Amino acid sequence: MSGGMDIHEILKYLPHRYPFLLVDRVISYESGKDIVALKNVTINEPFFSGHFPHHPVMPGVLIVEALAQASAILALRTEASKVNEDSVYYFVGIDGVRFKRPVMAGDQLMLKVEIARQIKGIWKFKARAEVDGNLVTEATLMCTARSV
């Protein structure tokens, strides 16, 4: 198992920036296998002002996006490459998404992704997000890097 990554290292692997960078730290990863990352969900997130002002809940689509960003880091680390201006990492499919409970301001979202397979540049991942050890979201993600 390899060590973690701080935000400075993450920025070398993801093109996303505020307010769309949804991975704060990588706790651990094993090239070709899995990654555990985290997103600290704070009341200062820009989406909370509209989703919902009276009951701030992290949008499910952003939880899935955070899982996809963690998967991109894993794929790039596995291929021993970094993000560049000539390519973008895209979703090509999302299956079996289930939302088990809401994610609120103050939660620490643990992103756990494992590689299911990789064929012809298409990566398939089993992904789950947890808060305090409890499952909040699970999905199968398919992603690929494409030249722009």
Q: How many residues would you count in the chain?
A: 148
Q: Is 51 known to be catalytic?
A: yes
Peptide bond into 91 cis (omega under 30): no
Angle CA 81–139–123, to nearest 5:
30
DSSP-derived letter for residue 56 is: -
SS3 of residue 6 by DSSP: coil
Show which residues are catalytic. 51
